Structures are given as C-alpha cells and as structure tokens.
C-alpha cells in the first residue's frame, strides 16, 4: 500500500516499470524526466552498466500535487530486464503500489515478453501479493518500428492482456504513449487508495 | 483553510482552553493525526500505541458485554493525569489522548472535549471529500503534471 504520512499529510506511491531487457523502461523514465515541469520532479538516478543497460534500477520522484488534502508523490522505478537479474527485480518490486509492464512489440521478442510477465507474477506471488489485485498497465512499446517487424496492438493484446487491464501503444523514444501510460497507472493506484480509505471509513 | 489546518486549530484551542499540556489526535490504530503541546516525560509514539491498544481492548470488552462503545477513560496519576476519549465524529472513530496536571481539572477537560468533538464534527461535515472531488483533483493534478492528452 502507498505510504501515508498522516501528520505530514503526504502520500507516497511506488510505481515500478517492469518488462524484458531493452523493452524501453528507462526510455519511459527519461522521457518523463525531460518533459514534466522541473519543480515537480527530483533528480533521476540511474545505476547502469558500462554498456548503458540498467544494472540495479532507475529512480525518478515526481510530485503530483494535493489530492484530498494530501501532498501526493510518485516514486517511479525501473527494474533490470535481463533474466539473470531476477533477485534484483524482486527487491525493487517490494512494496510496489502499481506496475507498468513495458512490452517490446517486436515479433521476435514475444517470448521474452511472456517470460517477463510470468516472472512478474512469480515475483509478486513470492511476496504474497495477489497479481490480480495489483494495479497494472500494459505498454506496447516500439510501435514506431516497421510494420513487418512488430505485432500491432490488437495482437499484443491477445498475447499479453489476459486480465483486460488498461493498455497503450507507445514509442518511448519520441514519447508517444508515455504520458498516457503514466496517467493510467496513476489513476489506478490513487483510485484504489481512495476506495480503500472509503472502505476503512465504513467499518 | 484546509482540513489539516482546521484540525490543528481545533486541537490548539482545546489545549489552551482546557489547560492541558499535551493533546494527541489519533487514528484508532495509533497513528498520530495531529499533536499540540509537549510533555517531556511522554514519548508520543509509545503513548499513541498504548492508547490505541487501550481503545481496542476497551471496545472488545464492551462487545463482550454487549456494548461496543468506548467511553472516556481517566487515569488519575500523581502529578500527571491522562484522559483518553473517543472522537466518533468520523468513521472509523478517532481517539483523543490528553495529558494534564493539577493546573486544570478532569471536569474542565471533559467540557472542552465536548467542544472539540463539536468542532471536529463540523469540520468532518464540511471537509469530507466526495468521490467527485477526489476525481476532479486527481484529473487536475495529472493534467498539471503531464499536460492535457
């Protein structure tokens, strides 16, 4: 659940960008960092290898503003996508309030997408989180690539979106679909928190 | 004025008028919502946790006896006294924990506890955000951050 600081009237939500290696998770955060107002974002921290692949995580804090009297902040994280960083992914995923799954739309990457989605569900189950209850948004990235290389969004839906969660076609390098994705996951996370607090108020 | 400021003002007024040294407004689970005043020997986190435990056990005892309500509880110590009382104006009910000494009396504390309840009741009625307010603030905030899509 989001961290709610009652005396300070602050809510901090953790959103994790998950997906296979090179699917565009860091590109999402870089685009967001470059385009949101400077006074609404903190420093973006990236721990990358020499060949610029994410080693541990990227981190970007954002301030959304005041909602229901609470200053609301998001902490955006990415995980390293490569298969051998599974333990690192589990660490970063701990305490996540929402997940953006960034899928690579290239046809030859479809197995990696499915494997990464399965890995996400296993990591959540290991942490006793029911994947069906966690806010999740799918992003079909790299839709700008030539048509003969990629699966169109409706085929990506058939392959990956068995839960029927919100999904967005995207090209993270130019920013298409990036803000739409962030907006979707932000709405899901905060509506869930609002519903939880209302449920608490009724007990 | 927002809800936080109004709650803080109501609590400050209670401390001043009742003549108590410390007042804590708590969620039922012990999380501190607001604090006014200070007593050196009282650790706020510990006191809040214990107060929540007292509240929970008293409620359970009440249920056991067929009455789930929690009435005010007074601990008349030597030079420091405690008054723990429910503030049921919101659901779930909150708790007021206050610490006072011989410079005031239990009677005064009770009188101004009633005033505090009334103030918080008015505030709850005026401030409770509706789903519509939440959705409007959410959309406005997202648009301010991400722009119109």
Q: DSSP assignment of B26-81, as one string?
A: E-TTS-EEEEEE--TT--HHHHHHHHHHHHHHHHHHHHHTT------EEEE-SS-E
Of B91, B131, B134, the CB nearest to A202: B91
d(CA A6, CA B120) in angstroms, rounded, equals 16
Strands A98-104 and A10-18: parallel
Nearest-Cα distance to chain B for A86, in Å, is 32
Give the gap in angstroms from C-alpha B34 to the nearest C-alpha of chain A.
Answer: 6
pLDDT on residue A200 = 45
Q: Based on the number of CB atoms within 10 Å of its own CB, is B46 exposed (0-12), middle (13-18) or buried (19 or more)?
A: exposed
pLDDT of residue B60: 78
Residue range of the domain that includes A27: 3-196
Residue A203 lies in a domain: no
A161 neighbors A167 (Cβ within 8 angstroms): yes
Which residues 113-132 on chain B approach chain A with CB closer than 8 angstroms? 127, 129, 131
CATH assignment at residue A112:
3.40.50.300
Is B109 in a helix, a strand, or coil? Answer: helix
Residue B21: which CATH number?
A: 3.30.450.30
CB contact under 8 A, A6 and B31: yes
pTM attached to this predicted model: 0.68
| pLDDT score recorded for residue B84 | 93
Q: Looking at the predicted complex, does its ipTM rise above 0.85? A: no
The pLDDT of residue A74 is 94
Please give the pLDDT value at position A106: 97
Q: Which residue of A has its CA nearest to B33?
A: A7
Report the pLDDT value the prediction gives residue A34, as an integer from 0 to 100.
93
Inside any domain, residue A181: yes
How much is the pLDDT for B129?
A: 67
CA distance A156 to A139: 10
Among residues A72, A81, A74, A93, which one has the least CA distance to residue A33? A74
DSSP A142: -
Q: Which chain A residues have a beta carbon less than 8 Å from that of B31? A: 6
In a domain, A23, yes or no: yes
Q: Report the C-alpha gap between A183 and B98 in whole angstroms.
A: 43
Per-position pLDDT tens, chain A of length 203: 677 766 567 888 999 999 999 999 999 999 999 999 999 998 888 776 555 566 667 889 999 988 887 889 999 999 888 777 888 888 889 889 999 999 999 999 999 999 999 999 999 999 899 988 999 999 999 999 999 999 999 999 999 999 999 999 999 999 999 999 999 999 999 999 888 766 544 33
Q: Residue B106 is part of which domain span? A: 3-146
Nearest residue of A to residue B2, measured between CA atoms: A69
Per-residue pLDDT of chain B (149 residues; tens, 9 = 90+): 466 667 888 899 999 999 999 999 998 888 888 899 988 888 888 888 888 888 888 877 777 777 766 688 899 877 889 999 988 766 667 899 999 999 999 999 999 999 998 888 877 666 556 788 888 989 999 999 988 66
Q: Do A203 and B91 touch (CB under 8 A)?
A: yes
**Residue A185 token pair:** 């996951």
Looking at residue A201, its pLDDT comes to 43
Count residue pairs from A and B with Cβ separation < 8 A: 65
Q: How far apart are CA B43 and CA B24, in angstroms?
A: 11
Cβ separation B33–A6 shorter than 8 A:
yes
Domains identified in chain A, total number: 1
- Asked, for residue A90, whether it belongs to a domain, the answer is yes
Contact of B3 with chain A, judged by CB distance below 8 Å, is answered with: yes
Altogether, the residues listed in chain A come to a count of: 203
């Amino acid at each position: 659940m989001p961290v709610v600081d009652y005396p300070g009237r602050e809510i901090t939500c953790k959103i994790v960008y998950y997906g296979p290696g090179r699917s565009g998770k860091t590109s999402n955060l870089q685009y967001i960092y470059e385009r949101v107002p400077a006074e609404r974002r903190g420093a973006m921290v990236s721990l990358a290898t020499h060949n610029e692949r994410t080693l541990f995580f990227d981190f970007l804090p954002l301030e959304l503003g005041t909602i229901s009297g609470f200053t609301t902040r998001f902490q955006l994280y990415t995980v390293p996508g490569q298969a051998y960083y599974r333990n690192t992914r589990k660490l970063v995923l701990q305490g996540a309030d929402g997940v953006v799954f960034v899928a690579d739309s290239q046809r030859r990457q479809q197995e990696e997408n499915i494997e990464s989605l399965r890995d996400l569900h296993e990591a959540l189950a290991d942490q006793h989180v029911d994947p069906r209850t966690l806010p999740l948004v799918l992003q079909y990235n790299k839709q700008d690539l030539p048509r003969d290389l990629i699966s169109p969004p409706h085929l990506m839906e058939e392959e990956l979106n068995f839960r029927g969660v919100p999904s967005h076609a995207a090209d993270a390098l130019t920013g298409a679909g990036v803000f739409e994705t962030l907006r979707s996951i932000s709405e899901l996370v905060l509506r869930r928190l609002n519903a939880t607090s209302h449920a608490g108020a009724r007990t | 004025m927002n809800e936080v400021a109004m709650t803080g003002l109501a609590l400050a007024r209670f401390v001043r008028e009742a003549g108590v040294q410390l007042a804590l407004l708590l969620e039922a689970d012990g999380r501190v919502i607001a604090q006014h005043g200070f007593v050196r020997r009282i650790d706020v986190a510990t006191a809040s946790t214990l107060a929540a435990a007292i509240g929970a056990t008293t409620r359970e005892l009440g249920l056991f006896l067929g009455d789930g309500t929690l009435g005010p509880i007074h601990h008349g110590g030597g030079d420091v006294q405690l008054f723990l009382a429910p503030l049921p104006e919101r659901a779930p009910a909150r708790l007021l924990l206050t610490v006072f000494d011989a410079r005031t009396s239990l009677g005064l504390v009770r009188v101004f506890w009633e005033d505090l309840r009334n103030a918080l009741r008015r505030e709850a009625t005026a401030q409770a955000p509706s789903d519509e307010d939440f959705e409007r603030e959410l959309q406005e905030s997202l648009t301010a951050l991400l722009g119109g899509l």
